[in-house]
Each structure stands twice: as structure tokens, then as C-alpha cells.
């Protein structure tokens, strides 16, 4: 029987190849309907049951005999923590030994690369280079799909304004517009143009929604978000991903206004299904259906299953509650079979679109895996994106790039320089990284610095930031005996990521003390900071000569860092999260409201205005900020009209000139402020940007187009409209370095 079904699917699929899209869709639905008619209740629920590939005896999990469950048709997909051989066995069991032979999904967290690690997503966002980001996920998809994975749990589309939250590293930063552009690029990267291409995978937008707003930056905590803020901010990147055709969406762990995302009708039904017409399926986060019990909204598994399924959580990741509860609930009529069929249809249609019915083994080819994993061009792309993601924060007297002729010796200091531990150079969520393939900083120094000048390497402190007296002494001595220090400090890769919330976001341990003692030698110091979140650098940014944020750069870390030190690459990264002046400022973000008592300027010291009495209101380094080895001039913006109607397109133009002596890239940023509206609007909001590469002396006219869409917001009556009135347009190279013009939107 199962062969027959697969054959029928294959013939249907071949025939439909040349037909137009909607007929194709109709055909897929018909085939899927035929299959659904043949399925038992348990087989239907089985398709909604996504399991972990190797057992952990987690308190939430029951050990299941996986083979037995697959044979019984009770598994829809597996997240495998194992090799391809095992995946082939599981797929064979599903196809040959289950009654209907429905192939399995294989899913995995592929957040910034599979084996070739790219910089962490927060770093990637600082490149503002959408093509490079798309390409990184294209490569991640190629490596994952060549390893048997057909469904990746990414991109992460949460927005966060709080440096304490560990999962910042997975995100595209604090801005909804930039994150939406990146969301689209990532969907294109993972899913490609055609899911049937076996080098593409289904992507999964996560975590829906409001997870980045957890109170206190504390992972899994509650979030309180008004509908206006939810729509204008947290939902935007998800909407963009749905518009770009993302196939799956994962729930968040948190409650939003008291209701867990996993059973949130407003999010899953009103927004995702009804307003956005999302055609794919949703998946719970790991065990999040079970977690309705500790959340205190379900008294037992049965109630958890009812609430989450009815709200629109289509499939169950790892809790097995659907498998245990739904068949009974359908028999009892608590959940309608029609409703189950709807969820099963969503799953099967995607299996069909991936081509799994035609060839269940299309992703399971060991030859392909050998060819693609860690390929040279993948590493090259990772190295390039790493250099594009570095953000140069300080560069006194243009000390960088290094002129090696000026020095006889370098003191290289830092515990991560020759380390492949603690995800140091690759960052957390490193999928199936092979750490032995990482180019460390010492590797790159040995190859490219040692032949030029001598250098010594000392740790200075331990991996978690504790600098012991003898380590400090050794580092100081090595600097005293050298001409310049290159000091690499910050957070190791395990300091951020899931469950990685912190209350202290200054440099870990006593690294500040180490830097101050090094600075006291009077030797020039280049400080390279590794991080998975914004850090407070106020205590040390003036102690050093150059300060470059390298995040966690990935497999080619050492090479990318040396490229940058030697000027073989030129920094162009711009911060996508505000770097606080003091940790008491968090949450801090550039697009805040004016308030009723705004300061006149950053130095305004009056009582009773929106300021702190012990710290500035502004961050140390603002959103959009980052230096280059060359310099750029941005001319004041010019408008095509000073008054526009809603149907008009406003052209905003400026001239960008490379006024320095090196090839470099600048990100020209356009912000808008709606001066008077029915609800208070942010003091500026990013609406467009362009990353432009110019040769020394070269200039280019940069033009942006603004339409009514860019001026819309959720008004006092919760209508998404543009209100007539005056707007300011700002153009510049950071959210704090801007030139202004105004225009009026006519009624
Ligand atoms: C995370 C998800 C991830 C899932 C599966 C959860 O703990 O929140 O982002 O996809 O685990 O690994």
C-alpha cells in the first residue's frame, strides 16, 4: 500500500511540474486529502508529533521507543542529534515499515551556520549587508540539507532592547525595520526559490511572539506588551517573514499579558492565520505545551493539549502530549476531527512541497554531505561576513590598521586567542560545528604575523573573566616587553544564548582591572571585544587606543581578525543594539518617545526632565554607529517635494563621498519622525538604508523613496494609517549623527 501511495504521489508530482502555481497547489491539496482519508486518528496525530532524535531523560519527557513509534506511524518529524546513517535508518523505517509510508521531517537548530559557522546573528546584522546575510543562510541550508536536515529552526526574529537577555546573540538587534529586512533575506537564504531543490530547507520563524520583551531580560519570564507595541514592533519581522513565504513558525515560551504564546489565540489565530493568512504550520517550542502546566493555565496534560491545539499550535515539539492526549480528545468530540485534518494537511502539504513523497531520501546522500560540509567557498563567505560584522568603536590617531613596520614585537593577550573551548570564537547555537576547524587568533598570527614580527601570547585571565594576580602580572610583563598590545577579552560563547541572562553586562569578572593595569604601562593597546550581547564598555573605552567589537566571528575568526588588523579589510559594521553607558539604563534603544519633559540637549542638567541624575540618558555607543579606516562625508538631504499627498512618492537624496584614502563601505541611514500624531511617536525611526562601497575620493548620489506605507502606524483607534502633518527626515551614518529636512503630508 505504502509503495502505491508514494508512486501515486510521484506521478501526480511529475505531471504537475509544468502547470501554473494555483493548479499545482490545488493538486497537492487533493493528493494530501486522499492520504488524509486513509489515515487513522493515531496516524493523523502522529504527523503532529515532533520528537527528539536521541533520548534525554529530561523531567518532561517520557522515553519512547522511537523505532516502534515510527513504525506505528506516530512520528511526524525528528530533531536528530546524530549522524546521517541513523537518519537513513529512521527514514527507512517510516517509509518501509509504517502502514502509509509517510516520510519524516528532520529538523535542527541552524541559527548561524551548520558546520561552517558564520558570525552570530547579532553580529551579522551589524553588517547591514542583506545579500551577505542571505548568502550565509543559503550556505547554512546547503550544509544542513546535505546532512539530511530538511527543516531548520531559524531565523530567530525576536526583538530585544535589553542587554541582559542572553538570546540577543540570536537576533538581528533592536530595530523592527532592519530586523524585517534581515528576516526576508534569511527566509530567501534558507528556503531558496523552490523547496523541491534538495539544497533548500523549510525555515521556522521563532519565537512567536514577544519573547525578546521578557521582563528584566530574564529568559522565559513574562512579557507585558500592549497591542500597539506588539504590532508595531515585535510582530513586524514575523510579518515580513510570512510575506516572504516562510513555511513554519515556532511559539515562544513566555506569556504575553498573562497568556502563554503556545495557547495564544490573538497571536496564533487573529494575527497569524486570519490577518496574515499564514499557509504553513506552527510548532510549539521545546516542551512548551507541557509548560502550560507550570504556567498555571492547564491543570494537566489533557488541558494543555486542548488549549494549545485549539489556539492554533499545530504541532508538538518534544512533549509528546499531543500523541498521548489528542486521539482520545477527538474520540470524545472535545476536538473535532476536521480541526485535526486541517493541521495534518498543513504538515503533509509541506512534506509534499519538499519532494519527500517523490524521494524520501533526497536529503540523505552521504556523497553530497562530503562535498558540501565545510567547503572552501563556505569558509570564504564566513570570513568576509565576519569582517563586515566587526564594529570599530574607537581608533585614536588612526592606530588601526596596524603598520607592522612601526613595531618590533606584539603582546597578544587573552584567554580566547588559542582556544576552541567554550564556543569562544564561534558563539552559542553552533549547530554541528567542528571546533577543530576553527581558525584561532593564534593560528592566524602564526601564519601571517610571525613571519613579519615577533609576538608573545599570554592568557591574562580565565575563560569566564576571572583574572588571577599571576595572570595579570604575566600579561603586564609581556606588554612591557613589547611595543604594542593586542588584547582580546569579553564573553565566551556560552555566556549568551538560551538561559544566558545576566544582571551584570560589564566585561566579565575583573577584565576591566586587567585592561587598566595594561593601560598603565603606557604602551598602545588595541582591544578586541568578543560578545554575544551589548556590553557596558564605559570604564575602559578611553583606556585603550583602539576598540573593535568582534562579537563571535565563527569558523574563520582568526583570519577575519588579522584581515582587519592589517587593513586587508576595512570596518563597515554598524551597531544594531545600543551599547549602554551604564547597565542601569537598560532597556535602552534609539527609537524612544520624546516624553513630556525631554532634555534640550544631552548636557541639559535641569531637575524634572527625562534624565538620570547619575548617568547620561544616551548610550555610550548608539544604534547605527561604527567607524571606518577611511572617512565619509554625507551631504544634507534634499527632498523632491516639501508637501506630498498620500499617493505621492517622496524622493530623499544625499551625496556620499569617500573623503579618506582607502576603499570602504558606509551605511547611509534614513530615519523619520512624525512630529504630531494621535499617539506619541518615536523621536526617530529607521525607514531605509543603503550600504555603499566607494573608492577614495569617489562620490555617489544616494536616493531613497518614501511612500505613505513608510509613514503608517497604529493610530489612537488602532487603525494602521498615515496621519497628515509634518514629518522630519534625518540622514546620516548613525542614529546620533544626522542631518535633517522636513516635509508635510497633506490631508
Ligand atoms: C529553543 C528553540 C529551539 C528548540 C529546539 C528551545 O529551547 O527555545 O529556539 O529551536 O529549543 O532546540
Alpha-carbon distance of 305 to 280, in angstroms, equals 20
Q: How confident is the model at residue 56 (pLDDT cuts 50, 70, 90)?
A: very low
Q: Is the CB of 52 under 6 A from ligand 1?
A: no
- CA distances to 113, 250, 421, 517, 579 from 434, rounded to whole Å, are 11, 27, 11, 36, 31
State which ligand 1 atom lies nearest to the alpha carbon of 253: 8
Summarize the confidence of residues 121-150 as an average pLDDT.
Answer: 98
- CA distances to 90, 109, 559, 583 from 432, rounded to whole Å, are 20, 9, 21, 34
Residue 343 Cα to ligand 1 middle (Å): 21
Summarize the confidence of residues 336-362 as an average pLDDT.
Answer: 97
Residue 587 Cα to ligand 1 middle (Å): 24
Q: How confident is the model at residue 23 (pLDDT cuts 50, 70, 90)?
A: low
- Environment class of 617 (CB within 10 Å of its CB; exposed 0-12, middle 13-18, buried 19+): middle
Q: Are 19 and 315 in contact (CB under 8 A)?
A: no
Angle at 668 between CA 662 and CA 672, to 5 degrees: 165
Neighbour order of strands in the sheet with 316-317: 151-152, 105-108, 77-79, 49-52, 316-317
- Does residue 60 surpass a pLDDT of 60? no
Q: Is the CB of 286 under 6 A from ligand 1?
A: yes
Q: Which CATH number fits domain 34-370: 3.20.20.300, 1.10.10.10, 3.40.50.170, 1.10.490.10?
A: 3.20.20.300
State the greatest distance between any 2 C-alpha atoms of the chain, in Å, as a whole number.
81
The one catalytic residue in 285, 418, 563, 674 is 285
Catalytic: 614? no
In percent, the amount of the chain with pLDDT more than 70 equals: 95
Residue 239 Cα to ligand 1 middle (Å): 21
- Give tens-digit pLDDT for 514-546: 999 999 999 999 999 999 999 999 999 999 999
- Environment class of 149 (CB within 10 Å of its CB; exposed 0-12, middle 13-18, buried 19+): buried
Q: Is the CB of 537 under 6 A from ligand 1?
A: no
- Does residue 41 surpass a pLDDT of 70? yes
State which ligand 1 atom lies nearest to the alpha carbon of 206: 9
State which ligand 1 atom lies nearest to the alpha carbon of 252: 8
Mean of pLDDT over the chain? 95
The correct answer on CATH 3.30.70.260 for the domain covering 375-584 is: no
- Does residue 19 surpass a pLDDT of 70? no
Pairing of strands 632-634, 409-413: unpaired
Q: Is the CB of 58 under 6 A from ligand 1?
A: no
Q: How confident is the model at residue 11 (pLDDT cuts 50, 70, 90)?
A: very low
**pLDDT value at residue 580:** 98
Strands (E), 72-133: 77-79, 105-108
The residue whose CA is least distant from atom 10 of ligand 1 is: 153
- Give tens-digit pLDDT for 260-271: 999 999 999 999
CATH for 630-745 is 2.60.40.10
The residue whose CA is least distant from atom 2 of ligand 1 is: 285
- Does residue 16 surpass a pLDDT of 90? no
**pLDDT value at residue 24:** 60
Q: Is the CB of 167 under 6 A from ligand 1?
A: no
Summarize the confidence of residues 202-229 as an average pLDDT.
Answer: 98
Task: Give every CB contact of residue 135 below 8 A, 6+ residues apart in sequence.
Answer: 189, 381, 385
Name which residue leads in pLDDT, 19 or 718.
718
Q: Is the CB of 728 under 6 A from ligand 1?
A: no
Q: Residue 319's closest CA among 275, 284, 281?
A: 284
Residue 694 Cα to ligand 1 middle (Å): 41
**pLDDT value at residue 7:** 44
Alpha-carbon distance of 533 to 166, in angstroms, equals 7
Q: How confident is the model at residue 63 (pLDDT cuts 50, 70, 90)?
A: low
- Give tens-digit pLDDT for 655-697: 999 999 999 999 999 999 999 999 999 999 999 999 999 999 9
Residues written for the chain: 747
Name which residue leads in pLDDT, 4 or 738.
738
In percent, the amount of the chain with pLDDT more than 90 equals: 93
- Give tens-digit pLDDT for 68-95: 999 999 999 999 988 899 999 999 999 9
Residue 286 Cα to ligand 1 middle (Å): 6
- Give tens-digit pLDDT for 352-395: 999 999 999 999 999 999 999 999 999 999 999 999 999 999 99
Alpha-carbon distance of 681 to 677, in angstroms, equals 7
**pLDDT value at residue 25:** 62
The residue whose CA is least distant from atom 8 of ligand 1 is: 285
Q: Are 103 and 95 in contact (CB under 8 A)?
A: yes
Domain range list for the chain: 1-33, 34-370, 375-584, 630-745
Q: Is the CB of 205 under 6 A from ligand 1?
A: no
Rounded to two decimals, the pTM is 0.95
Q: Is the CB of 498 under 6 A from ligand 1?
A: yes
Summarize the confidence of residues 624-640 as an average pLDDT.
Answer: 98
The residue whose CA is least distant from atom 12 of ligand 1 is: 109
Strand partners, 530: 490
Residue 52 Cα to ligand 1 middle (Å): 11
Q: Is the CB of 206 under 6 A from ligand 1?
A: yes
Q: Residue 339's closest CA among 352, 351, 329?
A: 329
- CA distances to 69, 206, 256, 291, 311 from 263, rounded to whole Å, are 26, 15, 10, 11, 5
Q: How confident is the model at residue 39 (pLDDT cuts 50, 70, 90)?
A: very high
End-to-end CA distance of the chain: 66
Q: Is the CB of 325 under 6 A from ligand 1?
A: no
Backbone φ and ψ of 117, nearest 5°: -90, 135
Q: Residue 170's closest CA among 560, 490, 498?
A: 498
Strand partners, 485: 411, 525
Amino acid at each position: 500500500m505504502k509503495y502505491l501511495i508514494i508512486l501515486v504521489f510521484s506521478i501526480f508530482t511529475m505531471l504537475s511540474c509544468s502547470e501554473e502555481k494555483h493548479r499545482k497547489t490545488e493538486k497537492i491539496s487533493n493528493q494530501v486529502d486522499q492520504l488524509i482519508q486513509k489515515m487513522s486518528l493515531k496516524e493523523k496525530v502522529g504527523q503532529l508529533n515532533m520528537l527528539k532524535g536521541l533520548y534525554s531523560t529530561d523531567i518532561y519527557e517520557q522515553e519512547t521507543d522511537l523505532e516502534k513509534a515510527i513504525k506505528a506511524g506516530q512520528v511526524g518529524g525528528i530533531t536528530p542529534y546524530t549522524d546521517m546513517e541513523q537518519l537513513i535508518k529512521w527514514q527507512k523505517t517510516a517509509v518501509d515499515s509504517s502502514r502509509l509510508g509517510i516520510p519524516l521531517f528532520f529538523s535542527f537548530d541552524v541559527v548561524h551556520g551548520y558546520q561552517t559557522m558564520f558570525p552570530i546573528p547579532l553580529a551579522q546584522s551589524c553588517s547591514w549587508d542583506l545579500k551577505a546575510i542571505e548568502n550565509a543562510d543559503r550556505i547554512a541550508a546547503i550544509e544542513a540539507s546535505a546532512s539530511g536536515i530538511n527543516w531548520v529552526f531559524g531565523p530567530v526574529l525576536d526583538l530585544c532592547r535589553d542587554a541582559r537577555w542572553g538570546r540577543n546573540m540570536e537576533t538581528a538587534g533592536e530595530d523592527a525595520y532592519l530586523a524585517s529586512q534581515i528576516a526576508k533575506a534569511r527566509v530567501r537564504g534558507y528556503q531558496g526559490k523552490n523547496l523541491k531543490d534538495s539544497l533548500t530547507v523549510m525555515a521556522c520563524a521563532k519565537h512567536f511572539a514577544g519573547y525578546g520583551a521578557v521582563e528584566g531580560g530574564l529568559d522565559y519570564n513574562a512579557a507585558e506588551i500592549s497591542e500597539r507595541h506588539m504590532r508595531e514592533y515585535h510582530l513586524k519581522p514575523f510579518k515580513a517573514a510570512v510575506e516572504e513565504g516562510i513555511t513554519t513558525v515556532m511559539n515562544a515560551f513566555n506569556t504575553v499579558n498573562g497568556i502563554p504564546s503556545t495557547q495564544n489565540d490573538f497571536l496564533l489565530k487573529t494575527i497569524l492565520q486570519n490577518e496574515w493568512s499564514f499557509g504553513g504550520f506552527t510548532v510549539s517550542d521545546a516542551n512548551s505545551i507541557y509548560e502550560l502546566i507550570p504556567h498555571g493555565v492547564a491543570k494537566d496534560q489533557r488541558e494543555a493539549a486542548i488549549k494549545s491545539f485549539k489556539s492554533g499550535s499545530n504541532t508538538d515539539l518534544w512533549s509528546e502530549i499531543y500523541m498521548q492526549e489528542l486521539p482520545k480528545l477527538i474520540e470524545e468530540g472535545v476536538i473535532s476531527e476536521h480541526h485535526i485534518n486541517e493541521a495534518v494537511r498543513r504538515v503533509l502539504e509541506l512534506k509534499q512541497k519538499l519532494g519527500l513523497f517523490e524521494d524520501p531520501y533526497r536529503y540523505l546522500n552521504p556523497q553530497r554531505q562530503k562535498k558540501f560540509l565545510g567547503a572552501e567557498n563556505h569558509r570564504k563567505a564566513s570570513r568576509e561576513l565576519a569582517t563586515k560584522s566587526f564594529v570599530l568603536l574607537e581608533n585614536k590617531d588612526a592606530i588601526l590598521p596596524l603598520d607592522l613596520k612601526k613595531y618590533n614585537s606584539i603582546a597578544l593577550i587573552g584567554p580566547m586567542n588559542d582556544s576552541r573551548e567554550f564556543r569562544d570564537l564561534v558563539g552559542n547555537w553552533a549547530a554541528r560545528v567542528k571546533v577543530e576547524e576553527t581558525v584561532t587568533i593564534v593560528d592566524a598570527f602564526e601564519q601571517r604575523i610571525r613571519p613579519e614580527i615577533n609576538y608573545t601570547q599570554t592568557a591574562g585571565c580565565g575563560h569566564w573573566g576571572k583574572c588571577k594576580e599571576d595572570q595579570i602580572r604575566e600579561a603586564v610583563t609581556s606588554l612591557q616587553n613589547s611595543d604594542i598590545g593586542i588584547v582580546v577579552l569579553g564573553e565566551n560563547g556560552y555566556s549568551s544564548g538560551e538561559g544566558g541572562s545576566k544582571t551584570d553586562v560589564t566585561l566579565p569578572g575583573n577584565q576591566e582591572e586587567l585592561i587598566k593595569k595594561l593601560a598603565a604601562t603606557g604602551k598602545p593597546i588595541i582591544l578586541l571585544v568578543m560578545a554575544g550581547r551589548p556590553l557596558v564598555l564605559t570604564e575602559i573605552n578611553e583606556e585603550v587606543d583602539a576598540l573593535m567589537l568582534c562579537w563571535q566571528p565563527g569558523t574563520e575568526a582568526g583570519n577575519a581578525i588579522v584581515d582587519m588588523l592589517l587593513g586587508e579589510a576595512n570596518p563597515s559594521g554598524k551597531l544594531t543594539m545600543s551599547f549602554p553607558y551604564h547597565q542601569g539604563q537598560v532597556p535602552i534603544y534609539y527609537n524612544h518617545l520624546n516624553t513630556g519633559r525631554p532634555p534640550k540637549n544631552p548636557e541639559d542638567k535641569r531637575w524634572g526632565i527625562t534624565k538620570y541624575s547619575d548617568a547620561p540618558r544616551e548610550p555610550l555607543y548608539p544604534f547605527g554607529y561604527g567607524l571606518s579606516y577611511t572617512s565619509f562625508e554625507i551631504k544634507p538631504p534634499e527632498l523632491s517635494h516639501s508637501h506630498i499627498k498620500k499617493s505621492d512618492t517622496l524622493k530623499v537624496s544625499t551625496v556620499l563621498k569617500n573623503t579618506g584614502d582607502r576603499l570602504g563601505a558606509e551605511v547611509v541611514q534614513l530615519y523619520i519622525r512624525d512630529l504630531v500624531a494621535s499617539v506619541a511617536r518615536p523621536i526617530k525611526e529607521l525607514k531605509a538604508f543603503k550600504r555603499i562601497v566607494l573608492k577614495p575620493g569617489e562620490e555617489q548620489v544616494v536616493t531613497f523613496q518614501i511612500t505613505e506605507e513608510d509613514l503608517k502606524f497604529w493610530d489612537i483607534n488602532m487603525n494602521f494609517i498615515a496621519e497628515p502633518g509634518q514629518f522630519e527626515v534625518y540622514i546620516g551614518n548613525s542614529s546620533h549623527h544626522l542631518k535633517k529636512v522636513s516635509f508635510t503630508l497633506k490631508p
